[in-house]
């Protein structure tokens, strides 16, 4: 494989990312799936001297309902307009989203308004009638992974650990998986475009790891919204993830890195489900392949305590990675909350080795 070829493509898809003063909107599901991820983002942004503002009255963008065919586009646009109004009221113009589907929806809405100004006008009327609010469109729209990408060198410089196996000195082999709504709809809005997205690759390279390019890299994580959300379809969801695992297995990945709410959820949880369905496991020695969000990984690089990052709620234990990277952790504290209370412990799976 010739990396120069990819670099030529990456050069063509660069985008402007604001350097400071971000208005941050959360994902409606990530705090349940990966409870430490967003908090970690806010923590390192602060440590890197960046100002991130959150308004507690912001809501879901409604993208999850829109992509599940239950929220009409007009409603979604009005919800988005309200988020913009909160940003405007707070005096910000750089909008940063935690969720990839939100990012996709915001991009789609802005693009729609660009081509159909009358739709924007109508949305303004809807928002005014419903809430009395007005908004200015953001000057800069970015996903939190874009911002983290922009800060990747600063994170690396301030970091304590690297994506390097401390015993062998070899780079950790990482599979990156980009959420569909990051750049498939608008390749120019994603760093590196849609075919060879660079946003996570840039972090992995900068932090010392080796990126694996495997045949089903472009395949959906399996969420597929209605595929997962409707139980009758759920077999498709697991099968889609399985297709990816089967394809990446020969490359012996040691970590899967993601930037979407759904992807880490399904790539993590379905490894357990598949193991219970047909006994297959995909990591070394009957273990799974650890799955992480970029915030969690950035947190590890920066030396944050793994249990503060919420890594204990992952389905696939992450200890194999921590050991390789030489990151210390206290197994006794894995299932204790911040006050030292026991939070419960999952049952041991039948096939997937629990660390």
The single residue among 189, 217, 244, 324 that binds another protein, judged by CB under 8 A, is 217
Which member of 154, 213, 305, 323 binds another protein (CB under 8 A)?
A: 213
- Single out the residue of 37, 85, 238, 260 in contact with another protein (rule: CB under 8 A): 238
Q: Is 353 in the site for another protein (CB under 8 A)?
A: no
> In the block, which residue shows the tokens 């923590």?
43
d(CA 258, CA 270): 15
Nearer to another protein, 9 or 42 (CB): 9
Q: Which two tokens stand for residue 152?
A: 């990747």
173 lines the binding site for another protein (CB under 8 A)? no
Taking the complex as a whole, the smallest distance from the CB of residue 273 to another protein amounts, in Å, to 6
Q: Count interface residues toward another protein (CB under 8 A).
A: 36
Given a contact cutoff of 8 angstroms between Cβ atoms, the answer to whether 219 and 244 are in contact is: yes
The DSSP-derived string for 271-325 is HHHHHHHH----SGGG----EEEHHHHHHHHTT--TTTTTGGG-SS--HHHHHHH
User: What is the footprint of another protein within residues 249-308 (CB under 8 A)?
Assistant: 250-251, 273-274, 276-279
Contact between 245 and 287 under an 8 Å Cβ cutoff? The reply is no
Q: Does 239 bind another protein (CB under 8 A)?
A: yes
Q: Does 354 bind another protein (CB under 8 A)?
A: no
Regarding 243 and contact with another protein (CB under 8 A), the answer is yes
CB of 344 to another protein, least distance (A): 19
**80 neighbors 60 (Cβ within 8 angstroms):** no
Q: Which positions ≥6 away from 278 have C-beta within 8 Å?
A: none
For residue 133, the Cα-to-chain-centroid distance in whole angstroms is 31
Residues that bind another protein (CB under 8 A): 1-2, 4-6, 8-9, 193-196, 213-218, 231-236, 238-239, 242-243, 250-251, 273-274, 276-279, 350
């Amino acid at each position: 494989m010739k990396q120069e070829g990819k670099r030529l493509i990456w050069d063509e898809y660069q985008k402007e990312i604001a350097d400071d003063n971000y208005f941050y909107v959360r994902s409606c599901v990530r705090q349940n799936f990966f409870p430490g991820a967003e908090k970690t983002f806010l923590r390192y942004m602060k440590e890197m001297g960046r100002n991130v503002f959150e308004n507690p009255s912001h809501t879901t963008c409604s993208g999850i309902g829109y992509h599940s065919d239950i929220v009409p586009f007009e409603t979604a646009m009005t919800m988005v307009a309200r988020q913009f109004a909160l940003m405007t009221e707070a005096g910000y113009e750089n909008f940063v989203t935690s969720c990839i589907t939100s990012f996709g929806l915001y991009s789609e809405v802005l693009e729609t308004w660009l081509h159909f100004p009358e739709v924007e006008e109508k949305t303004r009327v809807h928002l005014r009638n419903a809430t009395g609010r007005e908004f200015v469109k953001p000057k800069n729209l970015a996903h939190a992974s874009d911002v983290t990408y922009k800060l990747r060198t600063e994170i690396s410089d301030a970091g304590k650990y690297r994506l390097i196996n401390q015993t062998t000195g070899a780079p950790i082999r990482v599979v990156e998986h980009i959420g569909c709504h990051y750049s498939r709809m608008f390749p120019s809005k994603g760093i590196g475009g849609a075919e060879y997205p660079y946003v996570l690759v840039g972090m992995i390279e900068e932090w010392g790891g080796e990126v694996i390019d495997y045949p089903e890299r472009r395949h959906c994580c399996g969420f597929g919204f209605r595929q997962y959300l409707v139980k009758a379809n759920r077999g498709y969801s697991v099968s889609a993830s399985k297709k990816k695992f089967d394809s990446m297995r020969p490359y012996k990945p040691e970590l899967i890195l993601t930037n979407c709410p759904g992807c880490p959820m399904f790539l993590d949880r379905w490894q357990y489900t598949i193991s219970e369905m047909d006994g297959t496991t995909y990591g070394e020695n009957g273990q799974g392949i650890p799955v992480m969000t970029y915030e969690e990984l950035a947190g590890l690089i920066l030396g944050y305590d793994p249990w503060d990052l919420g890594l204990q709620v992952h389905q696939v234990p992450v200890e194999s990675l921590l050991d390789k990277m030489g990151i210390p952790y206290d197994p006794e504290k894995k299932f204790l909350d911040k006050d030292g209370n026991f939070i419960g412990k999952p049952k041991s799976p039948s096939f997937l080795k629990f660390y």
